[in-house]
Amino acid sequence: MWLNALGGKSLFKKRHPDVGARPGTLVISEDASQPKIHVMHFTPEELKEEDVTDTEQLRAAYDPNTTTWVDVQGFGDEKMIRRIAEKFAIHPLAIEDIINVPQRPKAETYDDQILIIVRMVNSIGQAEIDIEQVSIVLGKNYVLTFQERYGDVLDPVRRRIRSGKGRIRTEGPDYVAYAIFDTIVDAYYPVLEEIGNYLEDLEITVVENPTPRLLKYLNQVKNRLINLRRAIWPQRQVANSLARDEHPLIDPNVRIYLRDTYDHCVQSAEVVEMYREMVTGLMNMYLASVANRQNEVMKVLTITAAIFIPLTFMAGIYGMNFEYMPELHVPWAYPLIWTTMILMAGGMLFYFYRKGWIWNRDDDEDFPGKDGGP
């Protein structure tokens, strides 16, 4: 599902089976991509990669004596998806959770398999993100990954397998599943960093040029962070349960690495919470800035009115058309009234200045902390 920074589209448009449908019913989107299947068979010494177009090729390529990673991208062919599920004996409820996206992140055990559902995040622009469900099925000597769309963040795992360096080709499928999960979790870091940079730019704008559009951007970032939180927080529980609970498919040594993945989930969740607080602070700062600007406008209008009210009063008095007004026949009455009005206006301006209501410029010398001061 797409989460658009400007469009504000909802992340959770879930595809539900019809009410009363039997368990295991799949709901395939009309615009779903045709499945692409990439297979990697490897041992510590050998690696074989191939793209297969049907399950018969997959059946022929499968070797129980190697570790196999089958990556399925696209759910557009329900028959092929069901044949893959049948080939690897995936439980009907598990394949339902895999196809009918999005599901909440979770880890469930089905006989001799573990289903791990996580959320993968991609950056698609300035602080715009795309969140997609990735389902991992861990078996005795294989790992399956299912993604609704083409493209992912798992190329680092593929490069590690191709290079043959490290532990990934010697530890077995549980380590491969851990590497996939950990890479998906680590992909949150650059996205969060990009959002952090975007928030810093917004912070400068809030201080220097707060505009009504800025509040819209802040609200959009807040919504994105809410969706990120929905994705990250349940994944903490997934990583914690995999690291804590014993299972014959997961070696105790791999559970140690999963604890590190759990730490990464916690760190990402903490960053999201920090950014949410930052957005709230920027919203409050924006509203305070707008209120201050309104107060400044009101102050200028009030001071202007305060100056002109007595001047208008004097002008009104001498604007009355009475026949007997002694000052009208005094030669110096006109310059006297102008002098009086100028002195009144100047006196009021001086009074306002002394009160600090006008021309009140901040003095850097009085700023706390300048030149290393307290």
CATH number at residue 183: 3.30.460.20
Per residue in 339-358, pLDDT tens? 888 998 888 888 888 877 78
Per-residue pLDDT band for 11 (boundaries 50, 70, 90) equals: very low
Q: Which two tokens stand for residue 374?
A: 């307290």
Domain boundary among 267, 287, 307: 287
- Closest-CA residue to 52 (of 63, 62, 43, 64): 62
Q: In percent, how much of the chain has pLDDT > 70?
A: 87
Radius of gyration of the chain (CA): 34
Whether 227 and 306 have beta carbons less than 8 Å apart is answered as no
328 and 238 fall within a common domain: no
Q: Is the pLDDT of residue 371 over 60?
A: no
- Of residues 16 and 116, more confidence is placed in 116
Mean pLDDT of all residues belonging to the chain: 84
Residues facing residue 48 across a β-bridge: 41
Domain boundary among 236, 271, 287: 287
Bridging pattern class, strands 67-73 and 142-147: parallel
**Per-residue model confidence (pLDDT) at position 332:** 83
Residue 314 lies in a domain: no
63 and 164 fall within a common domain: yes
**Per-residue model confidence (pLDDT) at position 372:** 45
Whether 62 and 140 have beta carbons less than 8 Å apart is answered as no
128 and 39 fall within a common domain: yes
> H helices then E strands: how many in the chain?
9, 8
**Per-residue model confidence (pLDDT) at position 90:** 92
Q: Which residues of 47-71 are buried (b: 16+ CB within 10 A; e: fewer)?
A: eeeeebeebeebeeebeeebbbbbb
351 and 256 fall within a common domain: no
Domain limits at 13? 2-287
Residue 85 lies in a domain: yes
Q: Is the pLDDT of residue 320 over 50?
A: yes
Per-residue pLDDT band for 26 (boundaries 50, 70, 90) equals: confident
232 and 367 fall within a common domain: no
- pTM for this model (two decimals): 0.77
232 and 357 fall within a common domain: no
Total number of domains in the chain:
2
273 and 329 fall within a common domain: no
225 and 329 fall within a common domain: no
Residue 300 lies in a domain: no
233 and 352 fall within a common domain: no
Residue type, 180: I
Residue 299 lies in a domain: no
Q: How far apart are CA 182 and CA 200, in angstroms?
A: 28
Per residue in 28-48, pLDDT tens? 777 788 899 999 999 999 999
209 and 258 fall within a common domain: yes
Residue 311 lies in a domain: no
203 and 326 fall within a common domain: no
Residue 113 lies in a domain: yes
Per residue in 106-133, pLDDT tens? 999 998 899 999 999 987 666 678 899 9
Per-residue pLDDT band for 1 (boundaries 50, 70, 90) equals: very low
Residue 298 lies in a domain: no
Per residue in 52-88, pLDDT tens? 887 777 776 667 788 999 999 999 888 899 999 998 9
Residue 103 lies in a domain: yes
29 and 166 fall within a common domain: yes
